[in-house]
């Protein structure tokens, strides 16, 4: 199923588990571009260390808006599915990962009061007990040690992000169950399931205040006015992965999604040296673990493979 011929050679020795198997990481995302806006520097770091990384993309992003004014052209609007697939391929090459499409149809982002119904046949209306099947197959074929996805709110309440969470959790459980979907391969129990914690209060406040200290305009000024810190939400973070040296790779992958990202927009308003200075990690919540507690003893983890990896070889 997977062609790894394009993966860059690791810059450090391969990381392995206790059986000598290369470490494997599966990211489950709702749309093309999510893999570049959530955890992409962590991805690039692990690829450089020889970890095998696979992105499973639930939908094709067919109903996504064009968010870059320079890309609002009739030829792009008429071929948005093909354009977004091509963007995903460029981002995949930049990150050095493999990628599979799970084949669901984008739900769009309904707006209005009351909200209109989701379109018939879209991902957001699927039954996760059944629609997890394609992801179960991927898990059993790829055999990841670690899976990442979104929390129960989807990171933000997009119907596809919420369904991505539900499908990921259902597949995490079903892939390990020999009674579930026996036709989809031998069971595989991934060791750990993480939720992305990209846009949380402490990080955004730190970046906002750093911009002001440097005499720069903060892109988060309006957001921070009405945002109150929720200690319970912040306390969900269990893992901070140092990855600042790969922020530039993250940004290059994000720019590959040209219909979704304005290169002059807020995504790139904070200089990389400021980001590195005040928040050099990407953050996660260890939501489920089959190898130990979900609240690491002795403080936060700094590695998604903590408790799995053994010292690097050769």
CATH number at residue 84: 3.40.50.10320
| Secondary structure of residue 228 in the 3-state scheme | coil
Question: What is the pLDDT tens value at each position of the chain, 314 positions in all?
Answer: 444 434 455 555 589 999 999 999 999 999 999 999 999 999 999 999 999 999 999 999 999 888 889 898 888 888 999 999 999 999 999 999 999 999 999 999 988 888 889 999 999 999 999 999 999 999 999 999 999 999 999 998 899 999 999 999 999 999 999 999 999 999 999 999 999 999 999 999 999 999 999 999 999 999 999 999 999 999 999 999 999 999 999 999 999 999 999 999 889 999 999 999 999 999 999 999 999 999 988 789 999 999 999 976 55
| The total number of structural domains that make up the chain | 1
Query: How would you class 169 by CB atoms within 10 Å of its CB: exposed for 0-12, middle for 13-18, buried for 19 or more?
Result: buried
Strand partners, 301: 239
pLDDT at 6: 42
Give residue 243's domain range: 24-199+236-289
Residue 153 within any structural domain of the chain: yes
In contact, 190 and 209? CB cutoff 8 Å? no
| Secondary structure of residue 34 in the 3-state scheme | helix
Residue 216 within any structural domain of the chain: no
Q: At what angle do helices 80-95 and 40-48 cross, to 10 degrees?
A: 50
Residues 6 or more apart whose CB falls under 8 angstroms from that of 77 comprise: 66
* Calpha distance 35→42 (Å, rounded): 11
pLDDT at 314: 52
| Peptide bond before residue 103 is cis, with ω within 30 degrees of 0 | no
Residue 212 within any structural domain of the chain: no
Strand partners, 286: 194
Residues 6 or more apart whose CB falls under 8 angstroms from that of 54 comprise: 2, 24, 25, 26, 27, 97, 98, 99, 100, 138, 142, 144
Neighbours of 274 (CB within 10 A): 17
Residue 64 within any structural domain of the chain: yes
DSSP labels for 107-124? -----SSSPPPPPTT-GG
Residue 82 within any structural domain of the chain: yes
Asked if residue 34 belongs to a known ligand binding site, the reply is yes
Residue 135 within any structural domain of the chain: yes
Residue 223 within any structural domain of the chain: no
pLDDT at 5: 39
pTM for this entry: 0.94
* Calpha distance 113→269 (Å, rounded): 32
φ and ψ at residue 10, rounded to 5 degrees: -65, 145
Site of tokens 């002795």: 298
In contact, 96 and 44? CB cutoff 8 Å? yes
Residue 302 within any structural domain of the chain: no
């Amino acid at each position: 199923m997977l062609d790894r011929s394009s993966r860059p050679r690791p810059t450090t020795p391969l990381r392995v588990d206790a059986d000598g198997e290369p470490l494997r990481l599966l990211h489950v995302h709702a749309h093309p571009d999510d893999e570049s806006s959530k955890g992409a520097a962590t991805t690039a770091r692990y690829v450089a260390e020889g970890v095998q990384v696979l992105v499973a993309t639930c939908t094709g992003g067919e109903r996504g808006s064009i968010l870059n004014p320079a890309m609002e052209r009739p030829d792009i609007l008429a071929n948005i599915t093909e354009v977004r697939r091509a963007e995903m391929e460029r981002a995949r090459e930049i990150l050095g990962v493999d990628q599979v499409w799970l084949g669901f149809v984008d739900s769009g982002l309904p707006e209005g009061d009351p909200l209109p119904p989701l379109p018939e046949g879209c991902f957001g209306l699927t039954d996760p007990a059944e629609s997890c099947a394609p992801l179960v197959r991927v898990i059993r074929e790829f055999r990841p040690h670690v899976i990442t996805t979104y929390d129960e709110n989807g990171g933000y309440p997009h119907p596809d992000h919420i369904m991505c969470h539900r499908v990921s959790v259902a597949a995490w459980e079903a892939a390990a169950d020999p009674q579930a979907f026996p036709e989809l391969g031998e069971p595989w129990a991934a060791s750990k399931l993480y939720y992305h914690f990209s846009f949380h209060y402490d990080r955004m406040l730190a970046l906002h205040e750093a911009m002001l200290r440097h005499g720069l305009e903060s892109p988060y000024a309006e957001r921070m006015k009405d945002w109150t810190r929720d200690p319970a939400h912040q306390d969900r973070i269990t893992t901070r992965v140092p990855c600042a040296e790969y922020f530039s790779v993250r940004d290059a992958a994000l720019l590959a999604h040209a219909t979704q990202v304005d290169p002059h927009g807020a995504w790139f308003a904070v200089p990389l040296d400021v980001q590195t200075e005040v928040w050099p990690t990407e953050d996660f919540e260890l939501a489920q673990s089959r190898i130990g507690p979900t609240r690491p003893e002795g403080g936060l983890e700094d590695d998604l493979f903590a408790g799995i990896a053994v010292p690097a070889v050769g």
